């Protein structure tokens, strides 16, 4: 019912495949899968929206679709046997047609699926189709993103991964200080932020840069963000120096932020 090429079994690859499936067939009652980390997160601190819930599971929950994980490989034996047949047959079909890379082979997949289903599909015992149509509020572009929550600082900054984002200094945004913001990252790495359903405009300062260029021009309204970025960089450099075995104990004490004043 869906077939695509991917370098790895990543969350975003499953997002893309599931989106195509939903647009073609509608929303199923549930998806049944193994316990790959894309579908089930064992670490509670890494779960999204509840114990065991992955980013993929959170997206399904937003669409009112349940996610069920098999407890053992044997529980999905029939599916895995079909997958083994599919993989063997597809590889041979691609070889016969001289298709050696995903870009060239992708246009062949719909024809392969149609031929495979014509040969091996069997009519269901019950003709009822449990798929539900997508609703107007099902924003697949937003739902199929990597989503995390962060807190807005008093300086109107938000830290995400190795970047610092500075919000526009406005009356509306000042009211969001110490509030929670929802960050969404798409497959291209674009990050958007929302608070109370409102899209927030922000400037990105990459922490991967070694330092702020000397003499760089910074607008007054962005000074708080620049200072926050500089402070983060200085703390990181101090931490790296503290880890050096070449420093004496006195030098390390001088670098610590909680050192007593003299």
Distance CA 59, CA 187 (A): 14
Encode pLDDT of 180-199 as tens digits: 999 999 999 999 999 988 99
Q: Which two tokens stand for residue 30?
A: 């549930």
Structural domains for the chain: 11-120 (3.30.420), 145-255 (no CATH)
Strand partners, 30: 66
Alpha-carbon Rg for the chain, nearest whole angstrom, is 25
Distance CA 241, CA 239 (A): 5
Encode pLDDT of 108-130 as tens digits: 999 999 998 998 888 889 989 99
- Average pLDDT, rounded, for the chain: 83
The answer to whether residues 41 and 4 touch, using CB atoms and an 8 Å cutoff, is no
Pick the residue with more confidence: 44 or 176?
A: 176
Distance CA 69, CA 115 (A): 30
Report the pLDDT value the prediction gives residue 229, as an integer from 0 to 100: 66
Encode pLDDT of 41-86 as tens digits: 886 655 555 567 899 999 999 999 999 888 776 666 777 777 787 8
Distance CA 20, CA 1 (A): 10
Cβ-based burial of 150 (10 A; exposed 0-12, middle 13-18, buried ≥19)? middle
Three-state DSSP class for residue 10? coil
Tell me, yes or no, if the pTM score tops 0.95: no
Least-confidence region, from 14-18, 44-48, 170-174? 44-48
């Amino acid at each position: 019912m869906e077939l695509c090429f991917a370098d790895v079994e990543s969350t975003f690859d499953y997002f893309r495949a599931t989106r195509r499936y939903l647009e073609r067939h509608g929303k199923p009652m549930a998806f049944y899968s193994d316990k790959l980390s894309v579908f089930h997160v064992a670490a509670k601190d890494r779960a999204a929206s509840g114990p065991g819930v992955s980013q993929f599971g959170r997206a399904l929950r937003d669409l009112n679709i349940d996610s069920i994980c098999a407890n053992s490989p044997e529980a999905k034996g029939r599916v895995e046997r079909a997958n083994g047949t599919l993989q063997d047959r597809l590889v041979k079909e691609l070889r016969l047609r001289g298709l050696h890379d995903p870009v060239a082979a992708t246009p062949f997949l719909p024809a392969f699926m149609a031929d495979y289903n014509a040969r091996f599909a069997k009519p269901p015992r019950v003709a009822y189709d449990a798929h539900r149509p997508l609703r107007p509020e099902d924003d697949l572009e937003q739902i199929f993103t990597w989503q995390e929550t962060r807190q807005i600082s008093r300086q109107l900054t938000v830290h995400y991964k190795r970047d610092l984002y500075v919000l526009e200094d406005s009356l509306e945004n000042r009211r969001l200080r110490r509030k929670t913001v929802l960050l969404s990252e798409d497959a291209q790495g674009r990050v958007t932020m929302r608070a109370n359903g409102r899209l927030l405009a922000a400037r990105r300062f990459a922490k991967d840069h070694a330092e702020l260029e000397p003499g760089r021009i910074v607008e007054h309204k962005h000074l708080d963000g620049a200072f926050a970025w500089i402070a983060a960089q200085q703390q990181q450099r101090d931490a790296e120096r503290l880890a050096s075995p070449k420093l004496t104990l006195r030098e390390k004490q001088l670098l610590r932020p909680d050192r007593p004043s003299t």
